[in-house]
């Protein structure tokens, strides 16, 4: 298991990209929520992408907490999507009801 690393970037278009690396465990969801919140407040983006291409593990039961963060961001008016999900991560997010966020 590898600790979670969160790396933000802002594209020239204003889209905020959040790259997750390592393992995302339930205890990490607060850190993830805080990072997303800070980025939303600082940049007020119309679109945010959560790039999970380097996510090695999504601990079982964590998808629901991740989706709660995404739903909150969406209510603030930001279109938010999860990109580059492996089949395992995609399956967990889909099963938790997050199909609308997957691209």
pLDDT number for residue 41: 94
Residues belonging to the chain: 103
Please determine, looking at this structure, whether the domain spanning 5-101 carries the CATH number 1.10.10.10: no
pTM for this entry = 0.93
In whole angstroms, give the CA distance from residue 100 to residue 93.
10
Residue by residue, pLDDT tens for the chain (103 residues) are 579 999 999 999 999 999 999 999 999 999 999 999 999 999 999 999 999 999 999 998 899 999 999 999 899 899 999 999 999 999 999 999 999 999 9
C-alpha angle with apex 33: 76 to 25, nearest 5 degrees?
145
Mapped to the 3 state alphabet, what secondary structure does 76-100 carry? CCCEEEEECCCHHHHHHHHHCCCHH
Can you give the residue ranges of every domain in the chain? 5-101
């Amino acid at each position: 298991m590898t600790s979670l690393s969160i790396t933000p970037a802002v594209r020239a278009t204003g889209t905020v990209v959040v790259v997750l690396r390592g393992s995302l465990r339930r205890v990490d969801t607060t850190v993830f929520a805080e990072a997303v919140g800070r980025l939303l407040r600082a940049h007020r983006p119309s679109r945010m992408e959560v790039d999970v291409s380097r996510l090695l593990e999504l601990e079982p039961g964590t998808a629901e907490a991740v989706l709660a963060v995404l739903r909150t961001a969406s209510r603030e008016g930001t279109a938010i999507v999860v990109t580059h999900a492996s089949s395992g991560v995609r399956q967990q997010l889909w099963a938790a009801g997050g199909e609308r966020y997957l691209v």
